[in-house]
Structure 1
Amino acid sequence: MAFLDIQHLEKSFGAMHVVKDFNLGVEKGEFVSFLGPSGCGKTTVLRMVAGFETPTSGAIRIDGQDMTCLPANRRNIGMVFQAYALFPNLTVEENIGFGLKVAGEGKVAIRSRVGEMLELIGLRQLGSRYPFQLSGGQQQRVALARALAPRPQVLLLDEPLSALDAKIRISLREEIRRIQRDLGITTIFVTHDQEEALSMSDRVVVMHQGIADQVATPFEIYNRPTTRFVAQFVGTLNLLEANVVDAAAGKVLLGEVPVSLNRPLPGRTGERISLAARPEIVTLGRSDGDHVVLAGRIADVHFLGSVIRIRVAVEGGHLSLDTFNQPDRPPPSLGTPVEVSVSHRDLLVLAA
């Protein structure tokens, strides 16, 4: 059994079915992110694990103990909210030590643990300050230290970085991951930011309409999505509509262009499917090897600094591709006729 074991979890609010048969096992020390659009149920699952919501059905176990019906104050869980939720009338030290004081720890033990936490988050010199005297990033560090001070079994993070600017978000997510690894604490991180989920997690749970659409490593989520929703939601995806000519032989038509995928296809001859490709695997021009080559015209060029994203109109739709910026080689002009190529092995096949 996994350290955090969630079995057949469901939650309804009246007639609204928010979470549907959610199953997940999280190993001790693992960092798992819940990723999905607003309203997909990710925060509701987190609140049920924390004890703030009671499941309609299902079970939640931590280290073999049934937590399903226990109130939040009887679960050894630390939680960091999107809003920092620091006590404005307490100093940094008092905020961090608040949970320990409520638990009845002695003053010496509290002082020692608070010192450890201040060292861990790099705010040793700011313990006597009040929250309003700190930056947003520093306040979130304090909220993290307060959640970790009582030595919880599981740490829950509910979009803790969403209120911060981009540069601070990057540095703080690296800090959170470092602290999590140092402590070896089992962590659930809720976010709608794909980059956060992919860069921080051991595994990612992509949620859609209350269901865990796919649970896998970031590499697998990005490169081998198992559902159409995951493929389209995570990262940028090119979609080309094709008609199946010979399903067994993997032959399709992109508009009037015959393409061989050299592998059997799902569905039957005559059906319509979608071919999907990430921009980074599409090449401008012909490439060596066994590739699908399509003729088209430059429809758009976006200069993104180190990367230039080029959109090409081809049979069956448009293909976006990424190339590195080269100062001595300007990008092609709009309307320029070009060829694009992609390996048939890298094309994902999605049911229409």
Structure 2
Amino acid sequence: MAFLKIEHLEKSFGTTRVVKDFDLEIEKGEFISLLGPSGCGKTTVLRMVAGFETPSTGAIIIDGKDVVALRPSQRNIGMVFQAYALFPNLTVGENVAFGLKIKGIGKDEREARVQEMLAMIGLPDLSSRYPFQLSGGQQQRVALARALAVQPQVLLLDEPLSALDAKIRVSLRTQIREIQRELGITTLFVTHDQEEALSISDRIVVMNGGVAEQVGAPFEIYNRPSTRFVAQFVGTLNLIEADVIEPASGTVRIGTTEISLGRPLYPGRVTLACRPEAVSLGAAEGRSLVLHAEIGEVHFLGAVIRVQARTGRTSLSLDTFNRPDTPPPAAGDRVQVSISPADLLVLEA
């Protein structure tokens, strides 16, 4: 049985439904990310699990108990906010100990737990400092320690890394994942950052308009999107318009090139999609769809070079590895690009 179970959860503000018939089952120790654009309902779901919002309908079951009627302090949940929410008049140690003090934990046990938490987040010597004396990354680690100090059943993270710079974000998300695995704590993480969700989640819930469009492992979400929205929202996507020539065999025409997709299609026009890494510069073994193109923009990203190539009315992004002995193509170069039919998703018929 799932450790955290959300059933038919809905939330309306006035006449606006922001969460619609949301269902999710999370196993004990799983790390689940709610991913989606601003306004999709992901933070509202998190706040309902925390008890800060009351569902219009539905159930939230933690370890077999429906907690909808319970106050936040009765749910044994730890929460880390986007804006840290540390008490500025308390030291680091006092911030971490705050929840323990509220629970009536004795002083000796509190101090031992604080030291344990500060060691876990890599700040063992900063107990006497105040939040204003810490960097943003340090403050967020203290907020994480405070949430974990009370040994919650569920950890909730509301875009905790969005206010940090890129390098610190990568470092801290890795640390959060390591700590979560070490403690085996069930975690629900809200983010609009695809890379964050793909890199640290056991499963991802992609939300759109208050609905869970797809739930799956990062590999499935990225490589096998089940809706057009998921395909376009997660990662970079190339869209290719094609005419269906033989519906039974899935033969389509792209420009003047015909190719079989090997699966039945509806007659008419379809939109095909593929990721940049599925497009090769030049002919490549196993990639039988070959198109003539002209190089447009070339973006040097370090280890990877992102190339824009135009073929007819279609613009394709493709990724090629940086090789110091091989300069990238230049804008205006005439080239061939190749794609495997197996890498083409049919988004609409």
User: 1:242, 1:316 within 8 Å by CA — same for their partners in 2?
Assistant: no
- Say whether the 8 Å CA contact 1:3–1:28 is kept in structure 2: yes
Instruction: Provide, for residues 297-339 of structure 1, a one-character-per-residue CA deviation record: whole Å limited to 9, x for no partner.
Output: 1122112222111111114511111111122222222222211
Q: Which amino acid aligns with 2:235?
A: G
CA distance in 1, matches of 2:285, 2:92: 60
Q: Distance in 2 between matches of 1:52 and 1:314?
A: 52
Q: Separation in 2 of the partners of 1:58 and 1:103?
A: 29
> Is residue 348 of structure 1 aligned with residue 345 of structure 2?
yes
State the SS of the aligned residue for 1:125: coil
Aligned to 1:52, the other structure's residue is in SS state: coil
Q: Which runs of 5+ in 2 are unaligned?
A: none
1:220 maps to what in 2?
Answer: 220
Residue 317 of structure 2 corresponds to 320
Q: Which residue of 2 aligns with 1:273?
A: 270
Between stretches 287-296 and 183-192, larger displacement belongs to: 287-296
**Partner Cα distance (2:12, 2:223) in 1:** 33
SS of 2:214's partner is: strand
Please list every run of 5 or more consecutive structure 1 residues that lacks an aligned counterpart in the other structure. none
Q: What pairs with 1:96-107 in structure 2 (closer than 5 Å)? A: 96-107=96-107
Query: 1:118: which partner in 2?
Result: 118
Partner of 1:72: 72
- Measured in 2, the distance between the counterparts of 1:290 and 1:88 equals 59
Q: Measure how far apart 1:290 and its partner are.
A: 5.2
Indicate if the aligned counterparts of 1:257 and 1:315 stay in contact, CA closer than 8 A.
no
Aligned to 1:296: 293
Question: What TM-score do the two structures reach when normalised by structure 2?
Answer: 0.98
In 2, the alpha carbon distance for the partners of 1:3 and 1:152 equals 13
Q: TM-score, normalised by structure 1?
A: 0.97
Aligned length: 349
Q: Which residue pairs with 2:245 in the alignment?
A: 245
Is the 1:243–1:252 Cα contact (8 Å) retained in structure 2?
yes
Q: Is the 8 A contact 2:255 2:312 kept in 1?
A: yes
Provide the secondary structure at the position in 2 that maps to 1:34.
Answer: strand
**1:206/1:215 contact within 8 Å kept:** yes
Larger deviation, residues 159-168 vs 332-341? 332-341
In structure 2, the residue matched to 1:63 is 63
User: What's the CA shift for 1:22?
Assistant: 0.5
Is the counterpart of residue 311 in structure 1 residue 314 in structure 2? no
Q: Which of 331, 335, 340 does residue 338 from structure 1 map onto?
A: 335
- Measured after TM superposition, the shift of residue 104 of structure 1 is 0.9
> Structure 1 pair 291/41, CA: closer, same or farther in 2 (3 Å)?
same
Query: What amino acid is the match of 1:191?
Result: T
1:97-149 superposed Cα distances (whole Å, 9 cap, x missing partner): 10111111111111111111111111111111111111111111110010011
Partner of 2:95: 95
The CA RMSD measured in Å over matched residues stands at 1.1
Where 2:316 maps in the other structure, the secondary structure is: strand
* Percent identical: 69
Residue 54 of structure 1, CA deviation = 0.4
- Partner of residue 208, structure 2: 208
Which deviates more, 99-108 or 46-55? Answer: 99-108
Contact 1:33 1:191 in 2 (8 A): yes
Task: Write the distance in 1 (CA, Å) between the matches of 2:269 and 2:186.
Answer: 44
Aligned match of 1:131: 131
Pairwise mapping of residues 190-201 of structure 1 onto structure 2 (< 5 A)? 190-201=190-201
Contact 1:238 1:319 in 2 (8 A): yes
Amino acid at match of 2:321: F
> What is the DSSP-based 3-state SS (H/G/I as helix, E as strand, rest coil) of the residue aligned with 1:127?
coil
Secondary structure of the corresponding residue to residue 125 of structure 2: helix
Aligned-partner residue type, residue 7 of structure 1? E
Q: Is the 8 A contact 2:299 2:305 kept in 1?
A: yes
Q: Which amino acid aligns with 1:328?
A: D
Deviates more, 1:111-120 or 1:312-321: 312-321
SS state at 1:140 partner:
helix
Which AA in structure 2 matches 1:197?
A
- Find the counterpart in structure 1 of residue 109 from structure 2: 109
The one-letter code sitting in structure 2 at the alignment partner of 1:285 is G
- SS of 1:294's partner is strand
Q: Would you say the 8 A contact 2:287–2:338 is kept in 1? A: no
What displacement does 1:280 show? 0.7
Name the CA distance, whole Å, in 1 between partners of 2:127 and 2:50: 28
Other-structure match for 1:7:
7
CA distance in 2, matches of 1:309, 1:108: 56
SS in 2 for 1:124: coil
